[in-house]
Amino acid sequence: MQAGPAERSAWQRTAAGANLLGADGKLGVTIFEEMTSLAVKHGAINLGQGFPDEDGPAEMMEAARAAILNGANQYAPGQGIPRLREAVAVHQERFYGITLDPWREVIVSTGATEGIAAAVLALAGPGDEVLTFEPFYDSYGAMIALAGAEHVTVPLHAPSFQPHLAELEAAFTPRTRLVIVNNPHNPTGAVFGRDVLARIVELAGKHDAVILTDEVYEHLVFGEPHIPVASLPGAAARTLTISSAGKTFSFTGWKVGWVTGPEELVARVRTIKQFLTYSSGTPFQEAVAQGLDYPDEFFRGIASALEAKRDILAEGLRAAGLDVFMPLGTYFITADAAPLGFDDALDLARRLPELVGVAAIPVSVFCHPEGAERTRSLLRFAFCKKEPLLAEAAARLSRLVDLV
Ligand code: PMP
Ligand code: GLN
């Protein structure tokens, strides 16, 4: 059936707000997809889409294989297999002292992405405002638009990419329903200080808003230990926390994530999740449960291996003439191409694979127009790659200086 003009324009509005349309108005693909395709086309080193070039622990792959052979091949329970829910609860207690009931306060999702989608759809709708920091991970903007809610942003300011507390306070209104926090932060690599997190909790309390905190990079921090929002005084009762096996265990393709929080909020997320995927990959859940039981040294080792990679890429980017904003978490570095004479990082990113054989992501795609202007010359590079590859990427980028 052909959609009438009114329907078509409503759909166009939703799709544009959700960043589903390309510049030509046609249905688009995400920036990650676009840059990965360009990298493949030009045989470039892909520092765009964030995925490691090495597999996670061999024992976990063995556990997934064993689970398949042992018959874990039919639907898992909608809320996730009990063993994984228990492992998530034990992990939260072990690292953060957060006590959860694995039966009521934990659900498994198909990656963090589904957790985000289900939570936004469950908690926000037309007439509601959803607050995020800016730049923001792309799926937040898309889901807020698909939920029909209004997206309000609070800028993060270079070089540390922290928010100004006065701007944070001013962004809250009586219609603020949901505040989405992402800490450590993609794309900037910022880690929010306790003062910022405490202020978010205080303001959410004052305005009776729910906090949705995306902590998928919780173990990828290079300084102070990670502070979960839910561990702060007054936060637990209004906070949903999301994490994922993709980052912690380097299995981005397994798409196993989880959502934790108070029973009533988790139940709402679960209700939506049932109609998105119903349940998530059974054998991978078995394997991730095993991984979550690894000793503390395993989790510390993830960050120290990545820190060395961060330093190699940062050094290479500086040597190539870019200004580097050193990340305190995640596996992304933000760098400014303006000192090389490139003011439009979106245009540069589209040409970079062909120009020098490296792919990166322009930070402006994580922003609304005003924020895009502020971040116009910034590029995001992923450093979850083998060290020689990072050194080679840096060497290739050093050719940029001759191409202006
Ligand atoms: N949130 C953030 C901040 C991310 O960076 C990513 C993936 N890079 C996700 C969510 C999605 O995680 P998953 O692959 O587990 O769906
Ligand atoms: N989250 C990954 C990144 O930021 C990509 C995930 C995706 O392709 N949607 O690079």
Q: What are phi and psi of 154, to 5 degrees?
A: -120, 120
- What is the 339 CA–ligand 1 centroid distance (Å)? 31
pLDDT of residue 1: 44
- What is the 352 CA–ligand 1 centroid distance (Å)? 24
- What is the 4 CA–ligand 1 centroid distance (Å)? 36
Nearest ligand, CA 255: 1
CB-CB contact of 316 with 393 (8 Å): yes
Rounded (5°) CA angle 156-160-161: 15
pLDDT of residue 295: 97
Ligand 1 pocket, residue 330 CB under 6 Å: no
CB-CB contact of 208 with 179 (8 Å): no
Q: Atom 8 of ligand 2 has which residue's CA nearest to it?
A: 32
Ligand 1 pocket, residue 284 CB under 6 Å: no
Q: pTM to 2 decimals?
A: 0.95
Nearest ligand, CA 217: 1
Q: Which atom of ligand 1 is nearest to the CA of 50?
A: 8
Q: Which of 185, 244, 254, 280 to mutate to test the pocket of ligand 1 (most atoms within 8 A of CB)?
A: 244
Please list, in sequence order, all residues whose beta carbon lies within 8 angstroms of the beta carbon of residue 353, skipping any fewer than 6 positions away.
Answer: 35, 38, 39, 41, 42, 44, 359
- What is the 72 CA–ligand 2 centroid distance (Å)? 28
Pocket residues: Cβ below 6 A from ligand 2: 30, 32, 49-50, 186
- What is the 250 CA–ligand 1 centroid distance (Å)? 12
For the domain with range 5-55+298-403, which CATH number is right: 3.90.1150.10, 3.40.50.720, 3.20.20.70, 3.40.309.10? 3.90.1150.10
Please list, in sequence order, all residues whose beta carbon lies within 8 angstroms of the beta carbon of residue 23, skipping any fewer than 6 positions away.
Answer: none
Q: How many residues does the chain have?
A: 404
Task: Break the chain into its structural domains and give their ranges.
Answer: 5-55+298-403, 58-294
Ligand 1 pocket, residue 113 CB under 6 Å: yes
Instruction: Give me the CATH topology for the region 58-294.
Output: Aspartate Aminotransferase; domain 2 (3.40.640)
Tokens at 150, concatenated? 């209004």
Q: Atom 2 of ligand 2 has which residue's CA nearest to it?
A: 50
- What is the 293 CA–ligand 1 centroid distance (Å)? 22
pLDDT in 10s for each residue of the chain, 404 residues:
444 555 556 666 666 666 666 655 566 788 899 999 999 999 999 999 999 999 999 999 999 999 999 999 999 999 999 999 999 999 999 999 999 999 999 999 999 999 999 999 999 999 999 999 999 999 999 999 999 999 999 999 999 999 999 999 999 999 999 999 999 999 999 999 999 999 999 999 999 999 999 999 999 999 889 999 999 999 999 999 999 999 999 999 999 999 999 999 999 999 999 999 999 999 999 999 999 999 999 999 999 999 999 999 999 999 999 999 999 999 999 999 999 999 999 999 999 999 999 999 999 999 999 999 999 999 999 999 999 999 999 999 998 888 87
Q: What are phi and psi of 151, to 5 degrees?
A: -100, 115
pLDDT of residue 331: 97
Q: Which of 29, 34, 35, 51 to mutate to test the pocket of ligand 2 (most atoms within 8 A of CB)?
A: 51
Query: Taking Cα atoms as reference points, which of 226, 323, 255, 286 lies closest to residue 115?
Result: 255
pLDDT of residue 224: 87
Q: Atom 15 of ligand 1 has which residue's CA nearest to it?
A: 111
- What is the 170 CA–ligand 1 centroid distance (Å)? 28
- What is the 369 CA–ligand 2 centroid distance (Å)? 21
